[in-house]
Structure 1
């Protein structure tokens, strides 16, 4: 049953300072736990990132014979970052949020913007926490590790062999950072925390979420054939994420498997975050609908008219607010504003779903068929 207090905030009265203040207080009452949890997990990520490495790693070196360095894939020069870690995180958050806010000039749904922005932050914060924990506990050498380490086995003495893992293994070529001559401990630590890629995690967390959100708002994969340019636009975030992640192979900051693992973590977090904020991920009938906290979404009634005309960017074939206004005038609907109310998941059934008070909801396929018949009957003039 709909929570009355929450339903009252779904179409807030923002007239005057008092109305805005009441609404902000209600929003804070609903969201403060999430904000606090995000702050705590963000701080935890920073603490884990700054903690000492938990494992001691060996790497092979030999200066005998030809003087070859074993595993030359770790001997690339340190060239710096094409995209710094901080810039990567900022771009992965701000660009999706900017697109979401820009689209609200047409969508005009506070709760859609709220759920989408929180979803982006959920994905980024969880992805970051996962990847820094793995970095600290597992880690791995960056391709430029030996250039940062600058190993010198002659400086190793029995007293400085703290771990007992230097000069061990086959032909005694395995060493630890005890033989590194670089005095910068932070640089050495950074060179040993390549796996997984934090850049890739952030890029795919933010941009895959944006990809899912744009697909839902544009209905690219839905019940009708979309325009090719919408498909190209929806795929753009995936291209951006791929470019940001794979640029790390140019400056040799990461190995390919670091990037693959980070991309997988970010993608999983994006899908998980989108699903807790919206009614579906791929189901085109519902994936644009922001969920509420105090009400269960009813999937049994099919894509009712207010579902189709609320919180979408596309405006054709029954989708979008312009059609809602026109049909509302023709059919005598007196509460078109209800279509913007995310609390109306179980009430105000319309003729598209074939439900009314006291009547059992029809099967979604029947609702779709009736909706299609209604749109066909209205004719091409209704297809905005």
Structure 2
């Protein structure tokens, strides 16, 4: 049974068709279960103590502190980790919801949000694994560790000139020491870029900031706003001395990568303005079989015309006029589409372009 009801005169997925939540849940049920398992795995690793036994110097033989960059005082976080995670989800979710004033598609709303969650959860699990197995010293490590090191008194140093110690010399709070040994990579940065970079891609796709039309300047500002937010969240970690610059950079790279993949897994393109607003189809899953696909009545690679629901939020630049698919760089796939349409004698008819169809 398709996600939307069909009849002979109605293209599946057009506005007015009936969205079936039960079918959507069956189609995405495996993903929902996988995300729940990944979230539980990430939380378990996050709560686990650091896996490696890290060695570190404290003083040179003349009593000078070896790494003063790890001797900053422990400060209160400017943005707590829970706040960074909430911002990374709620801000994109707010825009997904606002844009539904124009989109008016429950499938679009749910599937786009699921793409965001895929980015956030994948990035979170990736970074907690690195924290657990690699980690590193936070800038306030010495202040939290409060090492008690005295010459010729146990515990004795190891390594060359006996300069190296492990956490056995620490006299501070155990939980704070555990946390201060897991600096790399930054969880704040990872969450911020996984969520807000996904939002920037979504704004670009829906408002066609980068397209064949010179769009309004406010759209560019709106697209860069989440990137500014992610940068500020990341940068705040170096102000309150909770992370080193390379921890922040690594988190930003992880979050950006998961956002790119999650967005492309959800939509037909990342930067190709003709298709990056179009949801990719999900026709079958472990919990749902499409009878039309099984019977050979549909192709797993659906085609559709530019229906109302297949349009982005913007109407600027001719979107909705039926000419969207003809805009593109010389020599790209647009040439093939022009040739196909000219050959059919349907110059003024909306082109068929790959789209969201299960039928959605």
Cα shift at 1:168: 1.6
Residue 305 (str. 1) matches residue 295 (str. 2): no
The aligned counterpart of 1:119 is 115
**Within 1, Cα distance between the matches of 2:324 and 2:201?**
30
CA RMSD of aligned residues (A): 3.0
Maintained 8 Å contact 2:311/2:319: no
Cα shift at 1:87: 1.0
Residues 51-90 of structure 1: matches in 2 within 5 Å? Answer: 51-62=48-59, 64-65=61-62, 67-90=63-86
Report the secondary structure of 2:272's partner residue. Answer: coil
Residue 174 (str. 1) matches residue 164 (str. 2): yes
Q: Which runs of 4+ in 1 moved over 6 A?
A: 12-15, 350-353, 367-370
Residue deviations 1:232-252 (CA, integer Å, cap 9, x gap):
111111111101111100000
Give the unaligned 5+ runs of structure 1: 325-349, 354-360, 376-384
**Within 2, Cα distance between the matches of 1:127 and 1:95?**
17
Residue deviations 1:331-363 (CA, integer Å, cap 9, x gap):
xxxxxxxxxxxxxxxxxxx9988xxxxxxx981
Count of matched residue pairs: 319
Residue 147 (str. 1) matches residue 143 (str. 2): yes
Please, which of 24, 28, 31 is the counterpart of residue 31 of structure 1?
28
The aligned counterpart of 1:266 is 255
**Within 1, Cα distance between the matches of 2:215 and 2:41?**
43
Cα shift at 1:178: 0.4
Residue 129 (str. 1) matches residue 136 (str. 2): no
**Within 2, Cα distance between the matches of 1:156 and 1:41?**
48
Return closer, same or farther for 1:368/1:292 CA change in 2, 3 Å cut-off: same
Q: TM (normalized to structure 1)?
A: 0.76
Residues 174-253 of structure 1: matches in 2 within 5 Å? Answer: 174-182=164-172, 184-253=173-242
Highest Rg: 1 or 2? Answer: 1
Please, which of 47, 69, 73 is the counterpart of residue 44 of structure 2?
47
Maintained 8 Å contact 1:111/1:290: no
Report the secondary structure of 1:187's partner residue. Answer: helix
Return closer, same or farther for 1:112/1:137 CA change in 2, 3 Å cut-off: same
Cα shift at 1:11: 4.4
Return closer, same or farther for 1:61/1:315 CA change in 2, 3 Å cut-off: same
Please, which of 277, 292, 309 is the counterpart of residue 288 of structure 1?
277
Cα shift at 1:169: 2.2
**Within 1, Cα distance between the matches of 2:115 and 2:258?**
10
Return closer, same or farther for 1:368/1:205 CA change in 2, 3 Å cut-off: farther
**Within 2, Cα distance between the matches of 1:364 and 1:147?**
65
Residue deviations 1:135-173 (CA, integer Å, cap 9, x gap):
000000000000000100149965xx5xxxx51223211
Return closer, same or farther for 1:152/1:362 CA change in 2, 3 Å cut-off: closer
Return closer, same or farther for 1:230/1:291 CA change in 2, 3 Å cut-off: same
Return closer, same or farther for 1:238/1:156 CA change in 2, 3 Å cut-off: farther
**Within 2, Cα distance between the matches of 1:14 and 1:318?**
23
Return closer, same or farther for 1:351/1:112 CA change in 2, 3 Å cut-off: closer
The aligned counterpart of 2:330 is none
**Within 1, Cα distance between the matches of 2:252 and 2:325?**
41
Return closer, same or farther for 1:288/1:87 CA change in 2, 3 Å cut-off: same
Residue deviations 1:185-225 (CA, integer Å, cap 9, x gap):
11111000000000000000000100111101011111111
**Within 1, Cα distance between the matches of 2:225 and 2:151?**
52
Structure (1/2) with the larger helix percentage: 1
Q: TM (normalized to structure 2)?
A: 0.80
**Within 2, Cα distance between the matches of 1:131 and 1:76?**
24
